[in-house]
Amino acid sequence: MVVLGVDPGITHLGLGVIQVEGGRGALKAFLLHGEVVETSSKEGAANRVGRIYERVRAALEAHAPEALAVEEQYFYRQNELAYKVGWALGAVLVAAHQRGVPVFAYGPMQVKQALVGHGHAPKEAVALAVRGALGLKEAPKPSHLADALAIALTHAFYARLSAAKPL
Amino acid sequence: MVVLGVDPGITHLGLGVIQVEGGRGALKAFLLHGEVVETSSKEGAANRVGRIYERVRAALEAHAPEALAVEEQYFYRQNELAYKVGWALGAVLVAAHQRGVPVFAYGPMQVKQALVGHGHAPKEAVALAVRGALGLKEAPKPSHLADALAIALTHAFYARLSAAKPL
Ligand SMILES: [Mg+2]
């Protein structure tokens, strides 16, 4: 199974594509592609979102994932931020819809549960689990890419249990 | 000047296209197209946003506006809503970017200032001004379409004063 994980953001959007190995044991996957799309408030909203769309679309075309997974976002007293992160996710959703790729979303506790085994694991434990599952010598960087890969692996975990969570 | 006004929303998104007449007197325009795109939480996020994208794209192709204008959104303690309205605007921005149409945004007070002449006018006065500027016998309905037309007229007003406000 190929999964595209997305860490949504308007200044930094992480994209990670993994190929998940079959079998019922520990989750094993390898990294097919990782990038962080960076945009600036100087370039205008449509340009920012249009560029995000193009990168997501390119990743979908190059790797033909069977699922796209995003982390659910929680915003506390940050409406402005929520709105702009929403723009970025809108572009992701347009690209997924055009390619017919189903979209899934998991909350931070579900990520921790899937990758570490309990919902209150520290961030470092998640990073270690991502590194282990992907067989990497070092933790993926930057953090936006690590988050995108974590969410892709999380989808693989729940899909294997027939507990995938459509957005 | 042809302007596409958008009232962004995830369950209801208003689209209004106007042709603005030249000249320096009172703002005069006529309605070329109006619709409200409705989506449901039952149909999945990518489908909702993908359909919004397709309608905006169709309006841009059919009417070739030289500008797209949206109302700035303010959300108070409604992060979840802000995020989802953001998805819708993301789709709008992708469509505008693909067609090379510049995007502008105005706040509610700027709309009132432009259409009624002072920033604290009641909603009814705005509706009356929209009706007058477009030469309509009745106020446009539903409210999401009226809002989309108000924002299109607002852009025409500020563009004429060389005070357009890019998003
Ligand atoms: Mg509305």
Handedness of CA B94, B96, B100, B102 (dihedral sign): negative
Can you give the pLDDT at residue A34?
93
Q: How far is CA A80 from CA A12, A84, B85, B86, in A?
A: 16, 6, 11, 10
Chain A contact present for B43, CB below 8 A: no
pLDDT surpasses 80 at B76: no
pLDDT of B89: 92
Question: Rounded to a whole number, what is the distance in Å from the CA of A69 to chain B's nearest CA?
Answer: 12
Contacts of B77 in chain A (CB under 8 A): 77, 79
Model pLDDT, residue B115? 94
Chain B residue numbers touching A84 (CB-CB < 8 A): 86
- Angle, helices A123-134 vs A108-115, to 10°: value is 50
**Which tops the pLDDT comparison, A67 or B76?**
A67
pLDDT for the residue A73: 77
How far is A149 from A18, CA to CA, in rounded Å? 7
- In this predicted complex, what is the ipTM? 0.82
Task: Give mean pLDDT, residues B131-156.
Answer: 92
Tell me, what's the pLDDT at A76? 65
Residues A94-121: pLDDT tens digits?
999 999 899 999 999 999 999 999 989 9
- C-alpha span between A79 and B78 (Å, rounded): 7
Question: What's the one-letter identity of residue A41?
Answer: S
- What's the pLDDT score for residue B73? 77
**Closest chain B residue to the Cα of A94, Cα to Cα:** B50
Chain B residues close to A91, C-beta within 8 Å = 90-91, 93-94
Q: How far apart are CA A42 and CA A24, in angstroms?
A: 48
Q: Do A86 and B86 touch (CB under 8 A)?
A: yes
Among candidates A73, A84, A90 on the partner chain, residue whose Cβ is nearest the Cβ of B91: A90
| Mean pLDDT, residues B130-151 | 92
Find out whether B7 is annotated in a ligand binding site: yes
**Chain B contact for A96 (CB, 8 A cutoff):** yes
Mean per-residue pLDDT, A41-53:
92
Nearest-by-CA chain A residue for B167: A45
A144 an active-site residue? yes
pLDDT of residue A26: 82
B46–A78 CB contact, under 8 Å: no
The tens digit of pLDDT for each residue in B54-70 reads: 999 999 999 999 999 99
Chain B residues with CB-CB distance to A48 below 8 A = 93
Chain A: residue whose CA lies nearest to B94: A50
- pLDDT-derived band at B78 (thresholds 50, 70, 90) equals confident
Q: What architecture is the A2-160 domain classified under in CATH?
A: 2-Layer Sandwich (3.30)
Calpha distance B85→B145 (Å, rounded): 16
Give kind and range of the element (H or E) at residue A6.
strand A2-7
Better-scored residue on pLDDT, A167 or A26? A167
Helix (H, G, I), strand (E, B) or coil at A118: coil
Domain ranges (residues) in chain B: 2-160
Distance CA A14, CA B140 (A): 42
